[in-house]
Structure 1
Amino acid sequence: MPIDVMMPFYGDVAQFQQAVTSVLGQRDGDLRLVVVDDCYPDPQPREWLAALTDPRVHYVRNETNLGVNGNFRRCTELVEADHFVVMGCDDVMLPDYLGTVRTLAARHADASVIAPGVEVIDDHDRPVRPLGDRIKSVLSPGEPTVLSGEAMATSLYRGNWTYFPSLLWRTAPVREVGFRSGLEIVLDLALLVDLAAAGGSLVYDPTVVFRYRRHDASVSSVQAVDGRRFAEENDFFAGEARRCAERGWPRAARAARLHATSRLNHLQSRVAGAAGRLRAASPAR
């Protein structure tokens, strides 16, 4: 059965074309690609897709701009397959991505989500390892692993080492849980821990089959600069600590209260911002 690749679109057209090409170039071609255009003002992406004349490609344009959370919700509403991916319109699937996650999903039929290995790239397709991604690599399991329940939640509260656009989701449990409203930065983490609370599991395999693009224009990068990212994260983790305590998950509650990786990212952002202000204030030499 096809895997649905849902691609919310609003962004760089060249990177979008690269993302689409990487999907259609999968060795396992049993897929349906659905591009969900969040009212991008330029008709070029729509015209380019139509010129592909590939029956696997479907284009949907929202009537109004829904934003990040709203467009993710729209994508899940449009899913028809048993498994789906919500892929970034600037990311890249390596040729064996779909074949790898499909095999893992067949091997772990009850898993709610499959997390493959990821390589991080910059705007010029060069592999990069910023501090945050080096921390993710330390926090992620070093070998194929299945996590569920409190162990899954604890691991993710310590630091969300997954990359949302690379994840393969099983449609039924995601539809039951759904994305929480009002979140933009931690909506993927919220969905993962809600699935853990509902009895779901996460399967991780470190085989690298996906390229995640890290750049300064991302929502998380922009909101880190003005502090909105960390305000959202602090509120989220405080609520999670209470929920885990009520659920009888003491280790998860402790990890949520500490949310050490989020605090470290906040500190790094403040230091970088202070350094930038000092450079701006320094007289020209």
Structure 2
Amino acid sequence: MSARFDVMMPYYGDVPLMKAAVASVRAQDGDDWRLTVVDDGRETGVPEWFAALGDPRVRYLRNPRNLGVTGNFNRCVELAEAPYTVLMGSDDLMLPGYLRTVRRALARAPRATMVQPGVQVIDGSGRPTGTLVDAAKKRVYAPSPNAALLHGEDLAVSLLRGNWLYFPSLCWRTDDLRRHPFRADLGVIQDLAVVLELLLAGGTLATEPEVCFQYRRHAVSESSAQALSGARFDEARRFFLDAAARLAAHGWPRAARAARHHWSSRLHALTLLPTAAAHARPLRPAAASLLRHAFAPRRVPEGG
């Protein structure tokens, strides 16, 4: 039976977490999936470990040169052959019912562009955890926890007010994702950029409330480091203002306003000021960047 789902795992270096992620995929039911690990690193022993698995459902590839985060995302999409693709983090975990839940969502909404199942957040040690960001996603920004099919400007407004999606847990329609590659000029917010492109092209999002995926939120990560330095928010401000102009031109004025104001992103910058004061060195540039993101005037895009 040919694969219906390609689970593509861009991998960067933590061997034990990657092995746990691989084991969680191998525990999925059905015979309609394949796992491909695309290694962008040079950790010793990794190719040998995959060769020893002897699992025909698992494919391992090592990039001849480092592509970086966004480059490896796009490489994974290029390699995907099945109708649906999951771009799973190499430190995240699928619970045993992940693909069963996604299949149910697609049976209900067979033309959905994306599926967002229920997600549990865990820390670096695998323990369930809760952060202010995740509480806001669940209680403030996310829609009703009931299964739903969302689309159009209403969904764009919801995500721009606060991005409640968990990117590594999403299942994407491969052909649609391939038409909108991840942008090389974005290092942290490229997932939201792709989702917006898909919505502008008429895409839909199916949600399923059953928790079947564990998203690992580390205390120290690439996005955390960029946030403390302010680099994440410099990128975010540029993205949101460009998106506001694009959405206004598309005839989605409410989404344009939500992008222009991006309140949740600005509030997030303010919440990081105490952490920056404790850890960022030098402090002044980091604090200035966070404050600039929170309070700088927003230019009004044409038609916004």
TM-score of the pair, normalised by structure 1 = 0.94
CA RMSD of aligned residues (A): 1.6
Is 1:232 paired with 2:235? yes
Is 1:199 paired with 2:190? no
Asked if structure 2 preserves the Cα contact closer than 8 Å seen for 1:157 and 1:256, the reply is yes
What corresponds to 1:9 in structure 2? 11
Is 1:45 paired with 2:46? yes
Q: 2:38 & 2:280 partners in 1: Cα distance?
A: 38
Asked if structure 1 preserves the Cα contact closer than 8 Å seen for 2:21 and 2:93, the reply is yes
Q: 2:69 & 2:201 partners in 1: Cα distance?
A: 24
Asked if structure 2 preserves the Cα contact closer than 8 Å seen for 1:186 and 1:233, the reply is yes
Partner deviation per Cα, 1:240-275 (whole Å, 9 max, x = no partner): 111111111111011101111111111111222124
Q: Which aligned pairs between 1:1-285 and structure 2 lie closer than 5 A?
A: 1-2=2-3, 3-38=5-40, 40-138=41-139, 139-142=141-144, 143-276=146-279
Q: 1:101 & 1:66 partners in 2: Cα distance?
A: 30
CA distance 1:276–1:183, change in 2 (3 Å): closer
Secondary structure of the structure 2 residue equivalent to 1:177:
coil
**Cα offset, 1:47, TM superposition:** 1.5
Q: 1:215 & 1:29 partners in 2: Cα distance?
A: 32
**Cα offset, 1:276, TM superposition:** 4.4
Deviates more, 1:262-271 or 1:52-61: 262-271
**Cα offset, 1:277, TM superposition:** 6.8
Deviates more, 1:171-180 or 1:2-11: 171-180
Letter in 2 for 1:32: R
Asked if structure 2 preserves the Cα contact closer than 8 Å seen for 1:6 and 1:84, the reply is yes
What corresponds to 2:289 in structure 1? none
Letter in 1 for 2:68: G
Q: Aligned residues, how many? A: 278
**Cα offset, 1:29, TM superposition:** 4.2
Asked if structure 2 preserves the Cα contact closer than 8 Å seen for 1:33 and 1:56, the reply is yes
Asked if structure 1 preserves the Cα contact closer than 8 Å seen for 2:228 and 2:280, the reply is no
**Cα offset, 1:75, TM superposition:** 0.2
CA distance 1:42–1:177, change in 2 (3 Å): closer
**Cα offset, 1:141, TM superposition:** 1.6
Asked if structure 1 preserves the Cα contact closer than 8 Å seen for 2:229 and 2:280, the reply is no
Aligned-pair identity (%): 51
Structure 1 unaligned spans of 5+:
281-285
Letter in 1 for 2:178: R
Q: 1:130 & 1:14 partners in 2: Cα distance?
A: 24
**Cα offset, 1:41, TM superposition:** 2.2
Asked if structure 2 preserves the Cα contact closer than 8 Å seen for 1:28 and 1:96, the reply is no
TM-score of the pair, normalised by structure 2 = 0.88
Partner deviation per Cα, 1:115-159 (whole Å, 9 max, x = no partner): 001000011110001111111112112222211111121111011
Partner deviation per Cα, 1:187-211 (whole Å, 9 max, x = no partner): 1100101000000011111210000
CA distance 1:255–1:45, change in 2 (3 Å): same
Secondary structure of the structure 1 residue equivalent to 2:272:
helix
